[in-house]
Amino acid sequence: MTPPDPLERALLAYENPDFINSPDGRLLRILAEYTEPMARFQHQRIQDTVVFFGSARFGPGGQASPASPQRNVPPRPAAPPAMSAYYEDARTLARMLTTWAMTLPGRHHRFVVTSGGGPGIMEAANRGAHEAGGKSIGLNIKLPHEQQPNPYITPELNFEFHYFFMRKYWFAYLAKALVVFPGGFGTLDELFEIVTLAQTQKLAKTIPIVIYGTEYWKSVLNLDALVENGAISPADRSFFQFVDTPAEAFSILQNALSPESSFEHRSALTDISNDGIPAEPAPAAQEILGPDIAKTRG
């Protein structure tokens, strides 16, 4: 009897694409979308972020964002000039925020501008940070009609996610503030994700939420109707601050995020060296371990 041909060496489980991409490999894919970004944030010394949300459709100078190259996808119409002006405002605010954040002392990058990685307001945010000479993060999502990462994202911080919930995790978990420019379903979804966490006290910190464009948002969100019908309490309206200029938004963010107002900073300044210069504080455990992950309750 002829012996069977010798078997080829089997693939290692993690090198087997059929397994990794199967329903049985889903847990590993989910874990990868947690651990791989974490490793990159640690390597790039990202401590925390300021997240910019807004429409992908509002390009500069009245231009619409590029349509998907896929077939049978109609081109997006050009946004009204009043909407497109928000592109330049997001760009300016991101540049102001990044310029200020780069002056803060410390070993890690603070308040790094973060967007959904695509065109429109997302591009404007990354572009402003890029023009200031700082890092910025793009958390893109793989969709049937894929949006391409905009060219202003720091290459080492360009991410693409399969799972929306893992992308939302990274939006929320590093965020120290949220800036919400005019947008549609996606922007509303992302906004209320954070507001719900704040309302239900799932966050152990206060995240300032700046709503940019009073006229637009008050025509879209009737918060008074929610209060009048008992769906939210009057105090819930305090989660938002409405603004209409980059300077106004920057002032709110700077006041809320300034290290000078934090207990940790005041404590560090009490440690004075012999020559009268504040001593450089020793690195905290969190600085060694990685990003300043947002605390949650429970």
Q: Which two tokens stand for residue 9?
A: 């060496």
Residue 250 is assigned to a structural domain of this protein: yes
Residue 138 burial by CB count (10 A; 0-12/13-18/19+): exposed, middle or buried? buried
DSSP 54: -
Enumerate the β-bridge partners of residue 113.
50, 136
Q: Residue range 125-143: average pLDDT?
A: 96
pTM: 0.82
Work out how many domains the chain is built from and give that number: 1
Is the predicted pLDDT of residue 27 greater than 70, yes or no? yes
Are the C-beta atoms of residues 147 and 68 closer than 8 Å to each other?
yes
Given pLDDT bands bounded at 50, 70 and 90, which one contains residue 80?
confident
Residue 69 is assigned to a structural domain of this protein: no
Residue 223 is assigned to a structural domain of this protein: yes
Is the predicted pLDDT of residue 55 greater than 70, yes or no? yes
Query: Which residue would you say has higher pLDDT here, 83 or 182?
Result: 182
> What are φ and ψ of residue 55, in 5° steps?
-65, 145
Separation of alpha carbons 214 and 217, rounded Å: 5
Residue 266 is assigned to a structural domain of this protein: yes
Poorest-confidence range of 130-139, 262-271, 286-295? 262-271
Is the predicted pLDDT of residue 24 greater than 50, yes or no? yes
SS3 breakdown of the chain: % helix, strand, coil, rounded to 5? 45, 15, 40
Domain encompassing residue 233? 20-64+78-289
Q: What is the pLDDT of residues 248-267, one digit of tens each?
A: 999 999 999 987 555 344 33
Residue 183 is assigned to a structural domain of this protein: yes
Q: Return the pLDDT at 60.
A: 87
Residue 14 is assigned to a structural domain of this protein: no
Separation of alpha carbons 55 and 172, rounded Å: 18
Is the predicted pLDDT of residue 281 greater than 50, yes or no? no
Look up the CATH number of the domain holding residue 237.
3.40.50.450
Residue 218 is assigned to a structural domain of this protein: yes
Residue 45 is assigned to a structural domain of this protein: yes
> What are φ and ψ of residue 67, in 5° steps?
-75, 160
